[in-house]
């Protein structure tokens, strides 16, 4: 069964996502057995933090999901090799330079970066991984990074997550962190995630909500759960599909996109594994533990993903596109992504215009199997299209006009053909940011 906990989950009120106030301050961010740090080493010209480190006191079980872009940055190529052994003890991340399209020299720089951090930490060779985000096509200032590593290592602290999350930001408007706690088999388990992404790439005028406009997305998750590597990889893949891959188009990623998870087992729970034991009544062991952990991981990823949507400057609304009744899940994906990525649809919501014709047109060109006379569309439960035509009824237009004025709108699209379903999130398309920047340029 496909987990769809992100779907109108009452535990994640959209309002909290839309109001970044107080979020990411770093209070309470803590995972047993992990330390983090973030410093400035001189990559960013403005002196902002640009080098982060995540460190596990013991080698952690690791899983990763990487960009499907065929133009892959050097750190991606290095990490894809290293993740194969399923163990990792440290992740170093720089912002301000993507180390992409940098050829052999870029690969050498990425290798020097992990070697330097392994030396600095005194951990096994091959146990560090690396991510980079920033401008494409320029050599990494590797000397500055190497010089910064002693300070980075000495700054490591169990409360260093706030520094780390700031050091991975590029043009993000706010830091993105989320955590969840729960009990599995009587043991408290923590899942903590930090992320960067979206915002506008300076001097990029494209709204973050365009798939092509998305900046590099990086997410790093730390947990003290004890878990088998294979199941962790499968769980991360599923969580990413239902979160980060549901705010953009599958495969439509930057050269550097990365999601990594490290699980150090410090919680001492019975290891979550592929061999599911029947759980004793009332306990939360075996398969039940796996289910809880998956849900928790998905919640953390979805919180971070929604923050990325929210981070599109000028975004005024959070739009949830909830497609059901497709012939297949694949068809549902096509419809959800086409509608959610349509500038016409997004600008209509910005303009608070209940322009359902644009949604119909987007559904029709999505490539999915659809029958226009079976399509129903609702805005926050207000019917706007019934059987392919404009909904009628007393006060219908007033209700629809009211629905599009909300800050959070669920656009429910029923295709009436099968059981395929998909939910994606997007911001609307306001031009405030663009207007500001157009003026700024001239």
Check residue 7 for interaction with a second copy (CB under 8 A): no
Residue 355 per-residue DSSP state: -
Alpha helices in 72-160 (DSSP H): 74-82, 103-121, 142-154
Among 48, 115, 210, 328, interactor with a second copy by CB under 8 A: 210
Of the candidates 332, 353, 314, 350, the residue with the CA atom closest to the CA atom of residue 412: 332
Ranges within 50-69 binding a second copy (CB under 8 A): 68-69
Check residue 316 for interaction with a second copy (CB under 8 A): no
Check residue 393 for interaction with a second copy (CB under 8 A): no
Closest to a second copy by CB, 118 or 331: 331
Q: How many Å is the Cα radius of gyration of the chain?
A: 22
Check residue 242 for interaction with a second copy (CB under 8 A): no
Check residue 434 for interaction with a second copy (CB under 8 A): yes
Choosing from 216, 223, 253, 423, the catalytic residue is 216
Burial class from Cβ neighbours inside 10 Å (0-12, 13-18, 19+) for residue 199 reads buried
Check residue 71 for interaction with a second copy (CB under 8 A): yes
Alpha helices in 242-317 (DSSP H): 286-310
Most distant CA pair in the chain: distance in Å?
Answer: 72
Contact between 99 and 132 under an 8 Å Cβ cutoff? The reply is yes
Binding mask 190-209 for a second copy (x = CB under 8 A): -----------x-xxxxx--
Among 18, 78, 98, 403, interactor with a second copy by CB under 8 A: 98
d(CA 269, CA 284): 11
For 285, the 3-state DSSP assignment is: coil
Among 107, 115, 135, 182, interactor with a second copy by CB under 8 A: 135
Closest to a second copy by CB, 3 or 344: 344
Closest to a second copy by CB, 264 or 427: 427
Of the candidates 50, 38, 55, the residue with the CA atom closest to the CA atom of residue 163: 38
Closest to a second copy by CB, 253 or 324: 253
Q: By CB under 8 A, which span of 2-10, 12-20, 110-118, 134-142 interacts with a second copy?
A: 134-142
Backbone CA torsion sign across 392, 393, 395, 396: negative
Check residue 386 for interaction with a second copy (CB under 8 A): no
Q: By CB under 8 A, which span of 22-30, 79-87, 112-120, 431-439 interacts with a second copy?
A: 431-439
Q: Can you spell out the DSSP letters for 328-340?
A: SHHHHHHHHHHHH
Length of the chain: 442
Check residue 360 for interaction with a second copy (CB under 8 A): yes
Check residue 362 for interaction with a second copy (CB under 8 A): yes
Q: What are phi and psi of 356, to 5 degrees?
A: -75, -20
Closest to a second copy by CB, 170 or 294: 170
Among 132, 246, 253, 376, interactor with a second copy by CB under 8 A: 253
- Min CB(265)–a second copy separation in Å: 36
Check residue 99 for interaction with a second copy (CB under 8 A): no
d(CA 166, CA 176): 9
- Number of neighbours of residue 405 by Cβ within 10 angstroms: 10
Closest to a second copy by CB, 122 or 203: 203
Q: Count the residues of the shown chain that bind a second copy, applying the rule CB under 8 A.
A: 67
Of the candidates 283, 257, 261, 281, the residue with the CA atom closest to the CA atom of residue 270: 283
Among 49, 72, 299, 310, interactor with a second copy by CB under 8 A: 72
* Residue 163, H or E segment: helix 161-167
Q: In this structure, what token pair is assigned to residue 71?
A: 């133009």
435 is catalytic: no
Contact between 313 and 173 under an 8 Å Cβ cutoff? The reply is yes
Closest to a second copy by CB, 136 or 182: 136
CA distances for 278 relative to 33, 159, 221, 228, 281, angstroms: 30, 38, 29, 18, 9
Check residue 107 for interaction with a second copy (CB under 8 A): no
Closest to a second copy by CB, 215 or 235: 215
Q: By CB under 8 A, which span of 36-44, 191-199, 235-243, 337-345 interacts with a second copy?
A: 337-345
Where in the sequence numbering do the catalytic residues fall? 216
- Chain residues that interact with a second copy, rule: CB under 8 A: 68-72, 98, 100-103, 135-138, 201, 203-207, 210, 212-213, 251-255, 341-345, 347-348, 350-351, 353, 356-358, 360-365, 367, 369-370, 372-373, 385, 387-390, 429-432, 434-435, 437-439, 441
């Amino acid at each position: 069964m496909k987990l769809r906990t992100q779907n109108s989950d009452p535990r994640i009120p959209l309002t909290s996502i839309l109001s970044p106030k107080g979020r990411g301050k770093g209070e309470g961010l803590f995972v047993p057995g992990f330390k983090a740090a973030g410093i400035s080493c001189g990559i960013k010209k403005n002196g902002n933090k640009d080098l982060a480190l995540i460190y596990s006191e013991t080698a952690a079980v690791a899983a990763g999901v990487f960009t499907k872009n065929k133009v892959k940055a050097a750190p991606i190529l290095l990490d894809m090799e290293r993740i194969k052994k399923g163990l990792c003890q440290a992740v170093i991340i720089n912002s301000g330079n993507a180390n992409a399209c940098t050829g052999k020299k870029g690969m050498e720089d990425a290798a020097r970066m992990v070697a330097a951090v392994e030396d600095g930490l005194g951990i096994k060779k091959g146990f560090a991984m690396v991510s980079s985000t920033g401008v494409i096509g320029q050599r990494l200032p590797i000397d500055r990074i190497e010089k910064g590593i002693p300070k980075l290592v000495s700054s490591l602290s169990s409360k260093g997550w706030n520094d780390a999350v700031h050091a991975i930001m590029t043009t993000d408007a706010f830091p993105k962190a989320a955590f969840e706690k729960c009990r599995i088999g009587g043991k408290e388990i923590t899942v903590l995630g930090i992320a960067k992404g979206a915002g506008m790439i300076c001097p990029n005028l494209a709204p973050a909500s365009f798939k092509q406009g998305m900046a590099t997305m990086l997410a790093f998750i730390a947990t003290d759960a004890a878990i088998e590597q294979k199941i962790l990889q499968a769980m991360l893949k599923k969580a990413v599909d239902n979160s980060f891959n549901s705010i953009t188009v599958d495969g439509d990623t930057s050269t550097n996109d990365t999601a990594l998870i490290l699980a150090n087992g410090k919680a001492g729970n019975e290891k979550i594994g592929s061999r599911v034991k029947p759980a004793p009544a009332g306990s939360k062991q075996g398969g039940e533990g796996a289910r809880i952990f998956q849900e928790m991981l998905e919640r953390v990823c979805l919180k971070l993903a929604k923050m990325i949507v929210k981070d599109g400057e000028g975004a005024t609304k959070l739009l949830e596109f909830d497609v059901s009744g497709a012939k297949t899940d694949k068809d549902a994906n096509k419809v959800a992504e086409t509608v959610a990525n349509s500038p016409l649809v997004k600008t209509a919501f910005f303009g608070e215009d209940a322009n359902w014709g644009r949604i119909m047109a987007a559904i029709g060109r999505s490539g999915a199997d659809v029958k226009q006379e079976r399509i129903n569309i609702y805005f926050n439960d207000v019917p706007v299209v019934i059987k392919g035509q404009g909904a009628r009824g007393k006060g219908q237009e007033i209700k629809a006009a009211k629905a599009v004025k909300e800050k959070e709108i669920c656009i429910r699209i029923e295709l009436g053909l099968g059981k395929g379903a998909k939910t994606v999130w997007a911001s609307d398309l306001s031009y405030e940011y663009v207007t500001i920047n157009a003026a700024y340029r001239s």
